[in-house]
Amino acid sequence: MDFNENKAIYLQISELLCEQILTGHWPPQEKVPSVREMGITLQVNPNTVLRTYDFLQQRNIIFNKRGIGYFVENDAVEKIIQYRREDFFANILPNFLKTITLLKIDPEEILESYREYLQKSSYSLPGQTK
């Protein structure tokens, strides 16, 4: 994994793990790789992975069964979406809006690009099915 120097590694790993949960790779109650396994896979110190797991456990996304390992919480998907939406509206959207305003981009252009993206991807607008 290539890490961004502008963001803590444990946060980048948590984003990766959350994507695994959101895509269904790790469904609720599924055991996630051990701290050591994840450290080897991502080529990072196990302490960094442990920090990631602690971060996700504090947000009730994963839980620890002592002596067995970490597992995905039943409502992990909802928790991740809630956390990411809050982050998006607080941190990403303001910068995005500032940029499109400075570049004089019409919101219709953004909407058109978004629709094109959805057509090319496996995603769909809320309330729609592909």
pLDDT in tens, 74-83: 999 999 999 9
Long-range contacts at 82-90 (CB < 8 A, ≥ 24 apart)? 83/59, 84/18
Amino acid of residue 103: L
* Beta carbons within 8 Å of 10's beta carbon, 6+ residues apart: 48, 49, 51, 52, 55
Average pLDDT over residues 110-123: 88
Average pLDDT over residues 16-28: 95
What confidence score (pLDDT) does residue 122 get?
73
What average pLDDT does the structure give for the chain?
93
What confidence score (pLDDT) does residue 128 get?
59
pTM more than 0.85: no
* Beta carbons within 8 Å of 64's beta carbon, 6+ residues apart: 53, 57, 70, 71
Please provide the CATH number assigned to the domain covering 9-76.
1.10.10.10
What confidence score (pLDDT) does residue 123 get?
66
**Pick from 3, 88, 90, 85: nearest CA to 42:** 3
